[in-house]
């Protein structure tokens, strides 16, 4: 008589454990991917002083010393490899990638030999996807190909359009070369291949890849995509041969710059945050129009409708994201909230915006994964609502400060003299902070209650066995 009872108890425990595991998996962010870009060593093109972006391009230099009395390209590549792997046992990086150009592959070779890994070429022609734009090769110089790099109009003309790309004007083209939309698409696609083709081979619990590429490609793509760009780095420290740039892909798909030529890069300040918000807003319609080119030129009616609808949706989402991020970043700059609930403003706004329109209906009983997902979406949506409430509370008082002092002061070094207006802001913010904390805690309790109901409603032995209730394994294709 005890066996059925024990079986039921065991089944209930297993169901509860499964639901809790799924809920934990839904609430934890995905593991971040770190990419280390390495600019190639000195090439024969560098030594010549002329712009050379042709593929496959020249080899590394291999004389006793280069024209400046320093190491040649092949020696630079060997020195870099030795610095990364000073001992016999080398486990740095999970995978190695290079562009279609010879100089990057030759730069990667010494380190690949020490690490014991193959070098995967990004951007090689794929017969199964002939239209796919992918690669980390150098930005095409167009009409400036073969012009002296350090003098005359060549250097300015070649780099002018790419600099505009970093400010969001991606529709501009290097004369005779590619535009920013094409460039950004191919590098982003290549990094998607890196992500799908890289696993944790060194056992450190992280995914980190080394990508051997080119100076302009590394600098421009980084500044076009990270959430903490610093355009002054172009003037302060352009990348030399074998210099590195480290970027990290976040759980929400955004990128953060971590290191530039060995120097750590901090988080974005308020002006940079607003710059990124504007940049991303103006890129969205450009990208939507760019994506229409294939169906329009192919006279694909269905493709035109589908791509057009997707473009309209993307532009609308970019507009909503711009407003949400700008308001939240401004509130954060003035008040320092919502740090009190354990998250940075950018985390709350940028993740929550994507979930506001999520379906909040109660999932079918017996599918704890869907229940956990819905619970998390409810929490993030509520957090976004509360940030908006804070904004409304702060807004009228901010206007009062402007009227009294002439301008709103955002930094400690520029604060106006303490007065009634500033005190009013502080009081309102304190009240708003308490309200945000209370509402978010209430939402968290609701999420926990949802999980409890789901686990209690699933009867032992009759859990949903459909494919949708099982964790799906991600297939990683070779790059």
What confidence tens digit (pLDDT) does each residue in 319-349 have? 999 999 999 999 888 886 554 444 444 443 3
116 pLDDT more than 60: yes
Catalytic residue among 42, 138, 185, 377: 138
The residue among 3 and 300 whose pLDDT is bigger is 300
Q: Cα–Cα distance between 309 and 307 in angstroms, integer?
A: 5
Mean pLDDT comparison of 96-105, 306-315, 358-367, highest-scoring range: 96-105
Identify any residues that bridge with 39 across adjacent strands, giving them in sequence order: 213
Task: Name residue, tokens 């892909």.
Answer: 249
Q: What is the mean pLDDT of residues 296-309?
A: 90
pLDDT given for residue 145 in this prediction: 92
Question: Is the pTM higher than 0.85?
Answer: no
Closest CA to 360 of 374, 347, 346, 372: 374
Assess contact for 105 and 121: CB atoms under 8 A.
Answer: yes
Q: Cα–Cα distance between 67 and 49 in angstroms, integer?
A: 11
> What pLDDT band is residue 357 in, cutting at 50, 70 and 90?
very low
Name 214's Cβ contacts closer than 8 Å, sequence gap at least 6: 39, 40, 99, 101, 104, 136, 137, 138, 139
Query: What mean pLDDT, rounded, does the chain reach?
Result: 75
Neighbours of 313 (CB within 10 A): 11
Buried b / exposed e over 365-388, threshold 16 CB at 10 Å, is ebbbbbbbbbbbbbbbbbbbebbe
Q: What percent of the chain has pLDDT over 90?
A: 49
253 φψ region: left (φ > 0), alpha (ψ -120 to 50), beta (else): left
Q: Is 241 exposed, middle or buried (0-12, 13-18, 19+ CB in 10 A)?
A: buried
pLDDT given for residue 364 in this prediction: 39
Q: What is the mean pLDDT of residues 433-462?
A: 51
96 pLDDT more than 80: yes
Long-range contacts of 315-320 (CB under 8 A, 24+ apart): 315/284, 315/285, 315/288, 317/284, 317/353, 318/280, 318/281, 318/283, 318/284, 318/285, 319/281, 319/284, 320/353
pLDDT given for residue 94 in this prediction: 95
Q: What is the DSSP string of 129-149?
A: STT-----PPPP-GGGTTSBS
Task: Assign 150 to helix, strand or coil.
Answer: coil
Identify any residues that bridge with 173 across adjacent strands, giving them in sequence order: 179
Please report how the helices 345-352 and 301-335 are oriented relative to each other, as an axis angle in degrees rounded to 10.
Answer: 150
Q: How far is CA 471 from the centre of its chain?
A: 24
Q: How far is CA 302 from the centre of its chain?
A: 31
pLDDT given for residue 113 in this prediction: 94
> What pLDDT band is residue 23 in, cutting at 50, 70 and 90?
very low
Phi, psi of 407 (to 5 degrees): -160, 150
Q: Cα–Cα distance between 260 and 361 in angstroms, integer?
A: 46
166 pLDDT more than 70: yes
> What pLDDT band is residue 156 in, cutting at 50, 70 and 90?
confident
Say whether 59 is catalytic. no
Name 149's Cβ contacts closer than 8 Å, sequence gap at least 6: 49, 50, 51, 155
What confidence tens digit (pLDDT) does each residue in 253-294 have? 999 999 999 999 999 999 999 999 999 999 999 999 999 998
Q: Cα–Cα distance between 91 and 107 in angstroms, integer?
A: 18
Neighbours of 450 (CB within 10 A): 20
215 pLDDT more than 80: yes
454 pLDDT more than 90: no
The residue among 374 and 193 whose pLDDT is bigger is 193
Assess contact for 211 and 177: CB atoms under 8 A.
Answer: no
Closest CA to 162 of 139, 189, 133: 139
Neighbours of 213 (CB within 10 A): 27
Assess contact for 75 and 59: CB atoms under 8 A.
Answer: no
Assess contact for 93 and 115: CB atoms under 8 A.
Answer: yes
Say whether 138 is catalytic. yes
Q: Cα–Cα distance between 113 and 348 in angstroms, integer?
A: 44
Closest CA to 452 of 23, 158, 8, 7: 23
């Amino acid at each position: 008589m005890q066996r059925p009872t024990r079986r039921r108890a065991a089944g209930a425990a297993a169901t509860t454990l499964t639901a809790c595991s799924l809920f934990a998996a839904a609430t934890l962010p995905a593991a971040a991917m770190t990419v280390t870009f390495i600019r190639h060593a000195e090439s024969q093109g560098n030594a010549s002083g002329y712009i050379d972006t042709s593929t496959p391009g020249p080899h590394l230099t291999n004389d006793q010393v280069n024209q400046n009395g320093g190491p040649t390209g092949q020696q630079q590549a060997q020195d870099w490899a030795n610095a990364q792997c000073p001992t016999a046992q080398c486990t740095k990086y999970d995978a190695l990638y290079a562009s279609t150009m010879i100089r990057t592959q030759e730069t990667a070779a010494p380190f690949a030999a020490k690490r014991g890994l193959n070098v995967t070429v990004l951007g090689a022609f794929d017969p199964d996807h002939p239209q796919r734009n992918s690669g980390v090769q150098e930005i095409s110089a167009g009409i400036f190909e073969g012009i002296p790099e350090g003098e005359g109009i060549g250097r300015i003309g070649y780099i002018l359009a790419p600099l505009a790309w970093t400010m969001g004007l991606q529709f501009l083209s290097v004369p005779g070369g590619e535009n920013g939309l094409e460039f950004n698409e191919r590098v982003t696609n290549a990094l998607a291949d890196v992500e799908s083709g890289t696993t944790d081979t060194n056992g450190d619990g992280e995914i980190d890849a080394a990508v051997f590429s080119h100076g302009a490609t590394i600098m421009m793509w980084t500044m076009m995509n990270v959430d903490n760009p610093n355009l002054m780095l172009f003037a302060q420290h352009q990348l030399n041969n074998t210099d590195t740039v480290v970027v990290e892909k976040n759980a929400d798909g955004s990128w953060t710059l971590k290191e530039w030529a060995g120097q750590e890069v901090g988080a974005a300040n308020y002006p940079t945050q607003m710059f990124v918000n504007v940049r991303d807003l103006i890129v969205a319609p450009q990208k939507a129009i760019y994506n229409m080119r294939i169906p329009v030129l192919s006279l694909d009616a269905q493709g035109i409708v589908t791509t057009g609808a997707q473009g309209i949706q993307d532009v609308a989402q970019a507009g909503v994201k711009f407003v949400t991020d700008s308001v939240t970043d401004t509130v954060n700059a003035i008040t320092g909230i919502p740090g009190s609930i354990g998250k940075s403003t950018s985390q709350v706004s940028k993740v929550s915006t994507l979930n506001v329109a999520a379906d909040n209906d109660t999932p079918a009983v017996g599918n704890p994964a869907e229940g956990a997902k819905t619970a998390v979406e409810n929490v993030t949506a509520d957090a976004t609502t509360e940030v908006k409430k804070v904004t409304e509370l702060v807004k009228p008082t901010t206007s009062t400060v402007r009227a009294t002092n002439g301008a709103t002061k955002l930094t400690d070094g520029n604060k106006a003299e303490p007065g009634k207006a500033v005190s009013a802001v502080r009081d309102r913010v304190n009240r708003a902070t308490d309200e945000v904390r209370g509402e978010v805690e209430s939402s968290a309790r609701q999420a926990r209650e949802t999980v409890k109901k789901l686990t209690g409603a699933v009867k032992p032995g009759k859990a949903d066995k459909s494919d949708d209730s099982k964790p799906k394994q991600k297939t990683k294709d070779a790059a």
